[in-house]
Amino acid sequence: MYSRITGTGGFLPEKVLTNHDLEQMVETSDAWIRERTGIEKRHVAGEGETTCDLAEAASRRALAAAGVDVAEIDLIIVATTTADKIFPSTACLLQKRLGIHGPAAFDVQAVCSGFVYALTVADKFIRTGSAKKALVVGAETLSRITDWSDRSTCVLFGDGAGAVVLEASDEPGILSTHLHADGKYDELLHVPTGVSQNYDAVRQGRAFMEMQGNDVFRFAVRTLGKIVDETLAANDMKKGDIDWLVPHQANIRIIAATAKKLNMPMERVVVTVNEHGNTSAASVPLALDVAVRDGRIQRGDTLLLEAFGGGFTWGSVLLKY
């Protein structure tokens, strides 16, 4: 028994913030942002627009693409760092919106690696026969935890959602999944406030992302290189066997380093960071949806999905589309 992606969907808020807009907000330049990150613009949720709103729109598109009715879904997993409420989970809120009653629904929190984590969990549910049709979503409103006066972080992030329908299948499907974490690096990339710690800052609207960008960059490049090797070795594959790299979209230089490790030309790498910025858990499913809808990714192609994020967490999924 395999699990197979049968439909993808994506959604971006209407409001766009360009690098030139950011030049009016902090001391930065379009040239600096493009050169260091590859980002040109990002989408930002409107007033009152929530992670669940984005998740719902992406989910409905994925369900339509798969030709699956909401009533058939028997598992919902939402990867997010920016839940609508402390509880219930955004997965439960999404379940309510979709009018699904009964099946398991829960959130996964692995920051930018969240979708890779969620897809791995859903794959295991399906392979063990615990679910047949899962809705797996990555959705974020990182703009709400961005310090818009801090130029070292505010130029990097954006909002959005991506979703897939994952179904039980005799044909592959997901071939292998690889998850890792090392919590000792928590302070290099974090929001230092939460419910049981520094909650006053949350109340006062001062819960913002903080990052040691240089350290994160070095660790991400090294770690993603290693996970490429791990994934190929586990499947007895060579570098040339991968048709498409669908990476987490944090920085074009990190993406290019992973592509180089795979000896892949950039034409075989799905890049959306220029248009979306870093949308954390939404970035991989959004990139996947873009390349499926524009016809680059075809049925039968071999895809390597990978991500790195706060925790640190990192992981990969190798699959036949």
Residues contributing to the site for ligand ACO (CB under 6 A): 28, 32, 36-37, 111-112, 151-152, 155, 189, 213-214, 216-217, 220, 250-251, 254, 278, 280, 308-310
* C-alpha to C-alpha distances, 72 to 75, 123, 150, nearest whole angstrom: 9, 17, 45
CA distance 136 to 118: 7
Q: Which is nearer to ligand ACO, 95 or 143 (CB)?
A: 143
101 is catalytic: no
Minimum CB–partner distance for residue 209 and ligand ACO (Å) = 6
Minimum CB–partner distance for residue 150 and ligand ACO (Å) = 9
Q: Which is nearer to ligand ACO, 189 or 269 (CB)?
A: 189
Q: What does DSSP say about strands 104-108 and 75-79: parallel, antiparallel, or unpaired? A: parallel
Q: Which is nearer to ligand ACO, 40 or 243 (CB)?
A: 40
Q: Which residue in 92, 251, 276, 278 is the catalytic one?
A: 278
Residue 106: CB partners within 8 Å, gap ≥ 6?
Answer: 76, 77, 78, 89, 91, 92
Q: Which residue in 43, 52, 248, 251 is the catalytic one?
A: 248
Q: Which residue in 52, 92, 112, 154 is the catalytic one?
A: 112
Minimum CB–partner distance for residue 278 and ligand ACO (Å) = 6
Minimum CB–partner distance for residue 98 and ligand ACO (Å) = 27
**Quick one: DSSP state of residue 82?**
S
Q: Which is nearer to ligand ACO, 173 or 315 (CB)?
A: 315
The secondary structure element, H or E, covering residue 152 is helix 151-154
Beta-strand runs (E) in the chain: 2-11, 16-18, 41-43, 75-79, 104-108, 133-141, 159-169, 174-181, 189-190, 210-211, 244-247, 302-309, 313-320
112 is catalytic: yes
CA distance 189 to 175: 31
Minimum CB–partner distance for residue 143 and ligand ACO (Å) = 12
Q: Which is nearer to ligand ACO, 131 or 139 (CB)?
A: 139
- Residues noted as catalytic: 112, 248, 278
